[in-house]
């Protein structure tokens, strides 16, 4: 999932395939919230194929981004990943990358009109998203076609200026936008600079947002969503006005330069959820959650502003079944070896994180932990997500510094094991709990985070083996870190002499 595969093959299980109850399996057309259970997998698969026949259709009218991060390319990715059928009308060709736009080639307005006719007279659309229109002539053509085909779910992202500063809508077209397109708009999604350009109000705080939203509402759109990402208040606040009430949508502000395509992907997500029948408030709520995750796991590619990653939320859901299966396989291998002597008094656990994990709920581990049984080990349950706090804390801390390292297991401290790890050229590092700050000791679950971060900051990388010799009430412990459960198991067995 982390390598962003260009081809995805989806294999559906037969009715006798073991699938952990509650495991979410999703594809480009499966909702991430839908869940399989062993008893109903066959019925649900039939339901999904029925859903495909009634797949909602979303048309995006926008410019092409040769770098793939924004515009038509971002829209189609988002629409598809959220389970609808994406169609496109290209209004302009841009030669651009993460640094900026190098050239723009306009599409003749007559050809823009022909693209719209070709799509709508045959396929139709449950929602139309409008992005970059370039000039007044194209804008008027688009507005005319929306009237002709009586499209009522029109979501307009009034793209005026690129992140690089390149003008994407001529000033002469601002008047046409207000008079021709806004009266046909179901949801308008300007950012703060665009909202200010539309209403002439300088926006510095929430009160200004409310004034601007009301002023823009009187220009004709049924719903006005002003995206407040440009406010310097530490929050990513968006404000919706429907002509009667204000609704606020807040999320953490994620510090990253890789935000290319945020507006396009956000408005495409809103359009998709509206096409699928969600009311405006709910559609925006779901789209806000989606884009927040896409920003959180944005891609650090190119030399400028990297793109957001609409694939990230879906990748995490797709990985759940495989994470459980990989843990099962690793545990079964360990059970065949006499490794009971490596289990500490507090017992062990083996955890495996989803790509882009952010909480213990994103990490699968063994409920009841791994216990010593005769000369080997035993478990009381199959792996589950959210089954461990301690090993989850280790993995989450490690992933802050290296997203490829998603698995870990704690074992009993053993001097001979450490010596063999060093002979095998494993990277072995330790932390001393005696130097742990009192504030850290007082916070439950903070010790491991402090210890690992201390090591990584000193070494500049995450080691294979992290150990400590304990403290009052704290058992000495070794943590084995790896890319996946099998990587961890191989390190343990190799250092254990098996």
Considering 67, 68, 229, 261, which one is annotated as catalytic? 261
Active site residue 23: no
The CA distances from residue 65 to 27, 62, 80, 91, in Å, are 25, 9, 17, 11
Considering 227, 320, 328, 491, which one is annotated as catalytic? 227
Active site residue 94: no
Show the tokens assigned to 175.
């008047």
The DSSP line for 298-345 is ----SSS-PBP-TTHHHHHHHHHHHHHHHHHHHHHHHHTS--GGG--T
Containing H/E element for 47? helix 41-53
Tell me the CB-side half-sphere exposure of residue 128, using CA atoms within 13 A.
24
Find, among 155, 159, 160, 162, the residue nearest to 182 by Cα: 155
Tell me the CB-side half-sphere exposure of residue 123, using CA atoms within 13 A.
19
Pairing of strands 363-365, 235-241: unpaired
**Contact present, 466 and 477 (Cβ < 8 Å):** no
Find, among 251, 240, 314, 221, the residue nearest to 283 by Cα: 240
Considering 131, 263, 306, 351, which one is annotated as catalytic? 263
**Contact present, 396 and 360 (Cβ < 8 Å):** yes
Q: Please identify which residue in the block is written with the tokens 């009192």.
A: 438
**Contact present, 322 and 454 (Cβ < 8 Å):** no
Q: How far apart are CA 326 and CA 394, in angstroms?
A: 19
Active site residue 263: yes
Active site residue 227: yes
Active site residue 264: yes
Considering 94, 189, 259, 379, which one is annotated as catalytic? 259
Distance between alpha carbon 439 and the CA centroid of its chain, in Å? 33
> Torsion over CA of 23, 25, 31 and 36, rounded to 10 degrees?
-50
- Is residue 63 helix, strand or coil? strand
Considering 262, 272, 379, 397, which one is annotated as catalytic? 262
Nearby residues of 48 by Cβ (< 8 Å), 6 or more positions away:
29, 30, 34
Active site residue 185: no
Considering 145, 229, 264, 421, which one is annotated as catalytic? 264
Catalytic annotation, residues: 227, 259, 261-264
């Amino acid at each position: 999932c982390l390598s962003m595969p260009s081809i995805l093959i989806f294999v559906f299980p037969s009715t006798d395939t073991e699938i952990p109850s509650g495991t979410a399996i999703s594809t480009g057309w499966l909702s991430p919230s839908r869940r399989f259970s062993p008893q109903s997998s066959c019925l649900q698969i039939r339901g999904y194929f029925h859903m495909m026949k009634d797949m909602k259709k979303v048309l995006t009218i926008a410019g092409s981004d040769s770098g793939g991060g924004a515009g038509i390319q971002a829209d189609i990715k988002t629409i598809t990943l959220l389970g609808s059928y994406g169609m496109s009308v290209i209004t302009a060709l841009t030669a651009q990358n993460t640094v900026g736009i190098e050239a723009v080639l306009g599409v003749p307005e007559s050809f823009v009109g022909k693209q719209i006719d070709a799509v709508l007279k045959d396929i139709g659309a449950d929602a139309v998203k409008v992005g970059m229109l370039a000039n007044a002539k194209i804008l008027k053509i688009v507005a005319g076609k929306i009237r002709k085909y009586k499209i009522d779910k029109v979501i307009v992202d009034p793209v005026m200026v690129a992140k690089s500063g390149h003008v994407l809508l001529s000033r002469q077209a601002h008047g046409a936008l207000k008079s021709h397109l806004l009266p046909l708009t179901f949801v308008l999604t300007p950012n703060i600079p665009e909202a200010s350009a539309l209403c002439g109000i300088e926006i510095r705080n929430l009160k200004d947002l409310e004034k601007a939203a009301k002023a823009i509402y009187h220009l004709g759109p049924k719903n006005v969503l002003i995206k407040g990402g440009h406010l310097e208040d530490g929050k990513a606040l968006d404000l919706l006005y429907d002509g009667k009430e204000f609704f606020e949508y807040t999320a953490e502000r994620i510090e990253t330069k890789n935000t290319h395509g945020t507006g396009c992907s956000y408005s495409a997500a809103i359009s998709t959820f509206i096409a699928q029948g969600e009311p405006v408030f709910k559609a925006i709520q779901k789209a806000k959650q989606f884009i927040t995750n896409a920003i959180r796991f944005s891609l650090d590619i190119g030399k400028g502003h990297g793109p957001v990653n609409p694939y990230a939320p879906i990748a995490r859901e797709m990985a759940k079944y495989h994470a459980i299966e990989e843990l099962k396989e690793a545990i079964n291998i360990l059970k065949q070896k006499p490794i009971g002597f490596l289990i500490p008094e507090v017992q062990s656990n083996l955890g495996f994180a989803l790509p882009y994990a952010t909480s213990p709920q994103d990490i699968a581990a063994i409920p009841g932990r791994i216990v010593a049984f005769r000369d080997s080990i035993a478990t009381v349950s199959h792996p589950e997500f959210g089954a461990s706090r301690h090993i989850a804390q280790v993995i989450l801390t490690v992933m802050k510094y290296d997203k490829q390292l998603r698995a870990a297991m704690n074992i009993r401290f053993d001097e001979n094991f450490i010596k063999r790890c060093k002979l095998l050229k494993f990277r072995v590092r330790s932390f001393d709990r005696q130097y742990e700050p009192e504030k850290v000791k007082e916070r439950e679950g903070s010790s491991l985070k402090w210890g690992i971060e201390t090591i990584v900051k000193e070494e500049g990388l995450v080691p294979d083996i992290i150990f400590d010799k304990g403290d009052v009430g704290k058992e000495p412990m070794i943590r084995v870190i790896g890319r996946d459960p099998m990587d961890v198991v191989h390190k343990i067995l190799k250092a254990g002499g098996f």
